[in-house]
Structure 1
Amino acid sequence: MSELEVPGKEANVLKGHEGAVLAARFNSDGNYCLSCGKDRTIRLWNPHRGIHIKTYKSHAREVRDVHVTPDNSKLCSCGGDRQIFYWDVSTGRVIRKFRGHDGETNCLLLLVDLYSTGLDLGDSHLVNAVKFNEYSSVVVSAGYDQSLRAWDCRSHSTEPIQVIDSFSDSVMSVCLTKSEIIGGSVDGTVRTFDIRIGREISDDLGQPVNCISMSNDGNCILASCLDSTLRLLDRTSGELLQEYKGHTCKSYKLDCCLTNTDAHVTGGSEDGFIYFWDLVDASVVSSFRAHSSVVTSVSYHPKDSCMITASVDGTIRVWKT
């Protein structure tokens, strides 16, 4: 992929959120996307045509993350009201409201991102991230209460079926494999829990981690840290393979990911820029100003050379080559 093949041309701007957009995610086939934000809503879009399709409302405070099942029939969301919602996509109905995160916490470090987006600091039980497993039967959430929690979508129970609380600060991000739950935390660690054998492996990066994502081949973990560095780890050994710099990430929860070919790393910056790095040599292949404020979220299309970005400026933007 040459520089010219990296998405950099604005194809559409999706407007409708009032205030900061905190996450934007493609669905599994890349035909639609979901966004969520400070205005307490989740929105479904056709990003390629620039069309808003549906708005989902039930959260009492900002919605911090959203994820959709592989068959696009259900979605999950989480936010500042400490709840995890399980939705039917087509009807917009809440199927279940899980009890959420309510453990005690003394997390201090990453509350600056709440100041920056003007969010209320009165509750330390925010839920930062959610993911479905590949069977869409379980949702795993990451919270400010220093825990990861798993919820059974097939059960009528609103209680977690598993709580992982070995972190020592806020858990900001979660990734799932067939047999593992991987969490990234402000305590500086990326922890992998093998749920088959009950084993935990902790990799200490020495800097607060605010986002993790997995390479498409499943061999690597990309971690965004609050020292304005992205770090690529070997998922099996924990070895640091590469570091990517140039962007600014000191105060906000910013997404990062790999392109669908795993050839490049991409992420947002607090100055409104998007960066693309070569995976192997870590050189900056492309950078451009995408938003007028902090780029909170990036999501790369599963097949095409296309990405969506979201920002504190209230917009989602679609980028193509």
Structure 2
Amino acid sequence: MSAANLPRTESNVLRGHEGAVLAARFNANGEYCLSCGKDRTIRLWNPHRGLHIKTYKSHGREVRDVHVTPDNSKLSSCGGDRQVFYWDVATGRVIRKFRGHDSEVNAVKFNEYASVVVSAGYDRSVRAWDCRSHSTEPIQIIDNFLDSVMSVCLTKTEIIAGSVDGTVRTFDIRMGREISDNLGQPVNCISLSNDGNCVLAGCLDSTIRLLDRSAGELLQEYKGHTCKSFKMDCCLTNTDAHVTGGSEDGYIYFWDLVDATVVSSFRAHSSVVTSVSYHPKDDCMITASVDGTIRVWKS
């Protein structure tokens, strides 16, 4: 994909949250998106038509992250009330509340079978919860981080987590083995490349780093944006040709994956860009901000 096709034209603005939007995520096929924020709600949208579909309310504090299953039937969320919620999308009913984190929960992800949800928190732990069992106890706790765990990614056999202690740690669940890559800077966000070979880590020194997963080698660094005090997303475009991320001044940046040059930057929001989510197939992206809006971008 050439830089000419990058989504830089605003096609819709999704309004409804009161206060900061902390995350916005496309669903698996890119037809819908979910958002969550300071107003303690989760919202389901059709971003392409600019339609608000449903609001989910049950959290007692801000909602920090949300993830939907591949079949769109269930969602999980987490936040300042220290809980992980497992929801039925259609009815809006909370199926289960998983309690066990000792502090705010920053991130949630389903595994590919949607049988397990993994959460990461300020209590320096990652916890895995069985969605099919009636137990609300975690089936696994990983607590050898030295500081808050901000972000988590899953593969078929691994949990990958990024922490303020400066590490990206990979836990092979089958082998019971841990690999730790120390970046030397607080890790704010991690995401996987679409081919699964690399992990992208956004750090609080205003640098995004690309790591080779097999060797742990630092492949590239991306700079230009400001990321010093907010939890912000970064990700790769669906072709893995470009890296994108937000900035605390409201800008969105696109970098060339290989040579790390800024190929585009533009003012997307009036305040901090907390979240970026790239469409799985199309040249389309959603961004969310402390300004209370979610914006849909097309090429």
TM-score normalised by structure 1 residue count: 0.93
Q: Which residue of 2 aligns with 1:68?
A: 68
Q: Which residue of 2 aligns with 1:248?
A: 226
Cα deviation per residue 1:29-54 (whole Å; 9 max; x = unaligned)?
00000000000000000000000000
- What letter is aligned with 1:25? R
Residues 144 and 172, structure 1, Cα contact 8 Å, conserved in 2: yes
Answering whether residue 277 of structure 2 is matched by residue 299 of structure 1, we say yes
Q: Which residue of 1 aligns with 2:13?
A: 13
Distance 1:190 1:2 in 2: 30
Alignment of 1:4-153 (within 5 A): 4-102=4-102, 125-153=103-131
Distance 1:148 1:290 in 2: 32
Cα deviation per residue 1:54-85 (whole Å; 9 max; x = unaligned)?
00000000000000000000000000000000
Deviation at 1:2, TM superposition (A): 2.4
Alignment of 1:123-272 (within 5 A): 125-272=103-250
Distance 2:181 2:196 in 1: 17
Q: Segments of 4+ in structure 1 off by > 6 A?
A: none
Cα deviation per residue 1:235-257 (whole Å; 9 max; x = unaligned)?
11110000000000000000000
Q: Which residue of 2 aligns with 1:308?
A: 286
Q: Which residue of 2 aligns with 1:121?
A: none
Matched length: 299
Distance 2:31 2:176 in 1: 37
* SS in structure 2 of the partner of residue 250 of structure 1: coil
- What letter is aligned with 2:70? P
- What letter is aligned with 2:64? R
Distance 2:190 2:28 in 1: 19
Deviation at 1:100, TM superposition (A): 3.5
Residues 216 and 261, structure 1, Cα contact 8 Å, conserved in 2: yes
Distance 2:100 2:196 in 1: 29
* SS in structure 1 of the partner of residue 227 of structure 2: coil
* SS in structure 2 of the partner of residue 48 of structure 1: coil
Distance 2:100 2:210 in 1: 31
- What letter is aligned with 2:191? S
Q: Which residue of 2 aligns with 1:113?
A: none
- What letter is aligned with 2:45? W
Distance 2:189 2:213 in 1: 15
**Identity percentage of aligned residues:** 87
Distance 1:263 1:67 in 2: 25
